[in-house]
Amino acid sequence: MTLTAKRLKELVRYDPITGFFTWAKGRRGCRAGDTAGRRRPEDGYWQVMLDGKQYYYQRLAVLYMTGRWPAEEADHKSTDKDDHTWENIRQATYSQNQQNKPKQSNNTSGYKGVTWNSQHKKWFARISVSGKRHHLGYFADPIKAHKAYCRAANEFHKQFARVA
């Protein structure tokens, strides 16, 4: 059975200002008003068990506030997995959610979208759009390569563009 907005509101309360869910009624080991759910140590996302199934906070926030499940995904605008305030949550496609990620931890250039190309001995800028990679050029300077990435990110990804 799919969790409905009505059932969700019977079980928990959502505060759009703090972004946290609390139990509507007392239950084993919890009182009404206690924080519902926990932060997963493996990836940092908040989840809560409702009617025997785990749900992500950001998806529940969309259901609670709109009455409908997100069509695809729910995204943290700021990328802060602890910030579930309603102003920080938005519906997104998978592709849009991917564009909102910060630069990868293994990035060696210091700039998102920029890598060193040893064959050309230049900095290489590229961007992914709807699963396809687009070559933005080779540059002598990583800052110029990053500027090319930023222009493309803002053009293609609009409000989902994250350039740092």
- Between the CA of residue 76 and those of 59, 71, 84, 100, what are the distances in Å? 10, 15, 7, 8
The structure tokens listed for 35 are 């924080």
Residue 147's domain is classified under what CATH number? 3.30.730.10
Looking at the structure, tell me whether residues 86 and 110 fall in a common domain: no
Residue given tokens 């190309």 in the structure block:
117
Instruction: Give the domain CATH number at 55.
Output: 3.90.75.20
Q: Is 97 within 8 Å of 39 (Cβ atoms)?
A: no
**131 is in which domain, residue-wise?**
103-160
Residue 10 domain-assigned? yes
> What mean pLDDT do residues 94-112 have?
78
Tens digits of residue pLDDT in 7-60: 999 999 999 999 999 999 988 888 999 999 999 999 899 999 999 999 999 999
Q: What is the 3-state secondary structure (H, E, C) of the chain?
A: CCCCHHHHHHHEEECCCCCCEEECCCECCECCCCECCEECCCCCCEEEEECCEEEEHHHHHHHHHHCCCCCCEEEECCCCCCCCCHHHEEEECHHHHHHCCCCCCCCCCCCCCEEEECCCCEEEEEEEECCEEEEEEEECCHHHHHHHHHHHHHHHHHHHCCCC
12 and 77, same structural domain? Answer: yes
CA distance 155 to 82: 29
9 and 88 share one domain: yes
**Residue ending a domain, choose from 70, 92, 114:** 92
- Residue ending a domain, among 92, 114, 146, is 92
Q: Are 95 and 131 in contact (CB under 8 A)?
A: yes
Would you give the distance in Å from CA 114 to the centre of its chain?
A: 22
Q: Is residue 97 part of a domain?
A: no
Residue 129 and residue 152 in one domain: yes
Residues 13 and 67 in one domain: yes
Q: How many domains does the chain have?
A: 2
**Torsion over CA of 94, 98, 101 and 104, rounded to 10 degrees?**
140
pLDDT digits (tens, 9 = 90+) for 59-89: 999 999 999 999 998 989 888 889 999 999 9
Same domain, yes or no: 88 and 60:
yes
Domain assignment of residue 115, yes or no: yes
Residue 29 in any domain: the answer is: yes
Asked if residue 64 belongs to a domain, the reply is yes
- Residue 17 domain flag: yes
Supply the pLDDT for residue 41.
92
